[in-house]
Structure 1
Amino acid sequence: MKKTLLFTGTLIGSLLAGHAASAASYTVQKGDTLSGIAKKYDTTVDRLKQQNHLSSDLIFPGQVLQIDEQSESEQAVSNTYTVQPGDTLSGIARKFGTTVDALLKLNPSIADPNFIRAGQALQVTGGQASTNTYTVQPAAAAVNGQYIVQKGDTLSGIANKFQTTVDRLLALNPQITNPNVIRIGQAIKVAGGATAVRAEQSVSAVKPVAAESSASLADRIIEIGEKYLGARYLYGASPSRTDVFDCSSFTMRVFSEAGISLPRTSSAQAQAGRTVSFNQLQKGDLVFFDTDSNGTINHVGIYAGNGQMINATVSLGVTYSSLTSSYWKTRFVKAVRVLN
């Protein structure tokens, strides 16, 4: 009998110890968000709110949150979500601290982001995202901003690879006289340097050092942005980091290096400066989008001229994107000019 009781006590103790080992606590730091903490601990915002009896997403520095680490079986379940009546893709994205774009990449079976059905199983984390995200990273293919032409390459293909245009490559590489003729082993500049090229080609009188013109300041902003091409995307990235960005930490960082202060979020940045129309866009203007189609600004980029913007995207990190593409054009909300 004693042996049985001893075994039972040992078993219960082991189970309790095992349960305790799966639990953790986290002290909220300045700048933390509930979705960021959920990602860090491979859990969900809803799970954190339930565990800590939170009625909203509001948290504050110094607050201690209880976090139950999920077992592998629980994580496998939490990677998918079953659509409930009344759900929308943007609502599900908010619930799991992600974006509609990320959900569409994880669920290629969704042909129309405005149409999902009750009972449908959606992948919300992991899986395809871990293998398909950041498949194109210009920084990895370019050395010091240059790309070496490979067999079968074309200038338009290289432009697509680095999310830019043939015209921009020609501007960066004046030695290319025929865009249809490039040779294997040729070094082509794919990032940066555009300001220096223009400066060498221009002939100008000596100007007072006083104030930098808005045009040259815009060029400098684009040049600053280009040095981060290929940096990965991280939602909620600290503005002090330069290895990863989200859309508004990128614009905030670029403008701060040019001596201009911007608020932290895209919605707040949309209130800075003077509103301009799409047809009035100038290099250096901030352009804003509603990618969830819910009436709220949630993405920002920097207009770089020729219908292009430089921005931090979920799938490609810091890259060039075309404002005339059907995706960005239909989601455009407004533009503001913060340069004088």
Structure 2
Amino acid sequence: MKKTFVLTSTLIGSLLAGHAASAASYTVQKGDTLWGIARQSGTTVAALKQENGLSSDLIFPGQVLRVNEQDEPNQTPSNTYTVEPGDTLSGIARKLGTTVDALLKLNPSIANPDFIRAGQTLQVAGGQGSSNTYNVKPTAAAVNGQYIVQKGDTLSGIAKKFQTSVDRLLALNPQITNPNNIRIGQAIKVAGGVADVQEAKQQISAANSADAESSASLADRIIDIAEKYLGARYLYGASPSRTDVFDCSSFTMRVFSEAGISLPRTSIAQAQAGRTVSFSQLQKGDLVFFDTDSNGTINHVGIYAGNGQMINATVSLGVTYSSLTSSYWKTRYVKAVRVIN
């Protein structure tokens, strides 16, 4: 039988610290986000960053964070997030350990996931009460080697409950494609022999092959989308909502958004997305970046289309095909990233 206790934030902070003190420490677990830690601890991301001298939201497993309690004893974590300059919906989803689809469902007012503005308030959680009421759950139990995900569970937390690792849980559950995204009521296999793990690994291998096919298909779709804008004129600073004119990064942003992938607005920001790949490993759909001013700063981006060609928005020709092996582009090439997983 579950028992319910109403705890003040002060008492929670004391329990976390293990003694009566004004601050507690928390060791970051795999899958944690700064926002999630702030929410669990009854504080804010800004307060955590200030308390720990963090300049970004990047944290890593094993890192020890100092967690201060809020001044107001009955303050509860916020279910909203205020958009900051440079934020994207996909970036916010990663930061909060959720998905773009989940955020869109919570915020039906967002007509275009590629357009959010600084200062905008987003709903990031729903269906929760306003009081600090916590359910004391019984010890984790598995039925037939399976565990049913409860409210507040994380994969790393479940691994800890059953004295196993996240990697082993992923091997036993190849249907989990994102370890930061599990849902309440989901059945997760937490026990199994060597044969089970081997079978799971075979399933993962098959899934990876399917993913490779899916990625190739998505890359073809991206090129098809890009080609329909061939001949469109160039306009520096063009709005990503326009399809008659583009600059280099509004073009790539538009093409990928139509394929369901959200990119930042500028070429410099896009160069930080995805995974860096070498020139020799280029695949169709990769983003390729250049320094056309030779000043050490990326200022141009195109989409690799295979066979040494890219589709890009150029000043002189608008949206066109260009050869990466030409003397102009070859000498100005900087890097490539892959955002198709």
| Structure number with bigger Rg | 1
State the TM-score bracket (shorter-chain normalisation).
0.3 to 0.5
TM-score (norm 2): 0.38
TM-score (norm 1): 0.38
